[in-house]
Amino acid sequence: MPELPDITVYVESLEQRILGSRLNRLRLKNPFLLRTVVPPISSAEGRLAVSVRRMGKRIVISLEDDLYLVIHLMVAGRLKWLANKAKAPKSALAVFEFESGKLILTEAGKRRRASLHFVSGESAVQTLHAGGKEIFDFDLDSFGARLKSENHTLKRALTDPKIFSGIGNAYSDEILHRARLSPIAMTVKLSDDEVERMFDAACTTLREWTEKLRLQAAGKFPEKVTAFRDGMAVHGRFGQPCPECGSPVQRIVYASNETNYCARCQTGGKILADRALSRLLKKNWPRSIDELE
């Protein structure tokens, strides 16, 4: 799922291309994409794009007359930019034909989870906001208070859109590795030093990756938006060496998600129970990284 750094670069790329440009035509290729009926989507056509912004993991395109297109890419949704004369791919769920070019919304796989809301008024936009606050809007004290407002694991707290905005599975792994904290540590039990490490790691990780993605795009529209990127420390790197200590990266698998971490750097060498494998292996489940090495 595209997260804060990816969405930020998408927004910046869209600003360069559609601000002041008129949306001449909007073609929906899949009826399940649009989640609203009022106002009618046809009333978006003919309006100038006046601003683009990120709201959590959503992209908000503001049109004339207080109208808003709100796009949520979910896990597999992606955006493409084409010249007006270029043909939209068959995989397109929606085609936004601006004067300056075509914005294409696609989604890989058969599950249709990406969404488009078309609403009138800022208050209607805010009803789509989960309520989480932006990491960069905190100072250390307010971050600590927010983090400890509910007793969650650190992984859950970072990825809960009602607590923090824009962070998902990938960058939470990277933040926790940088902070050298266990993904299953409980928020209310953190020391002041650990809270400070979390805050510093979150700000640094998100800033660094946003800048990396800007440089990769190099002014072009982002093409390779993925949760698994070269240069990540642990996310998507199960079994590969940790860049800090060389120990194999571990994982916890649950449903369709997984958490990646370094046992030596983050859990004092302890291998955390995997819901599937640890039940299967029982007594043969390794308890520490030393048993694996």
Q: What pLDDT was estimated at residue 281?
A: 37
- pLDDT under 50: residue ranges of the chain: 277-286, 288-293
Within the chain, residue ranges assigned H as helices are 4-18, 122-126, 140-147, 154-159, 169-179, 192-217, 263-266, 277-281, 289-292
β partners of residue 103: 81, 96
Express each pLDDT in 101-150 by its tens digit: 999 999 988 778 899 999 999 999 999 999 999 999 999 999 999 999 99
Whether 135-292 and 4-126 are alike in CATH topology: the answer is no
The edge-to-edge listing of strands for the beta sheet with 92-98 is 77-82, 101-107, 92-98, 22-28, 47-55, 58-63, 67-72, 115-120
Distance from C-alpha of 273 to C-alpha of 81, rounded to nearest angstrom = 43
CATH architecture of 4-126: Alpha-Beta Barrel (3.20)
pLDDT at 292: 39
Instruction: Delimit the domains of the chain by residue range.
Output: 4-126, 135-292
DSSP state of 152: -
pLDDT of residue 1: 84
Largest Cα–Cα separation, the chain? 66
List the CATH code of the domain at 135-292.
1.10.8.50
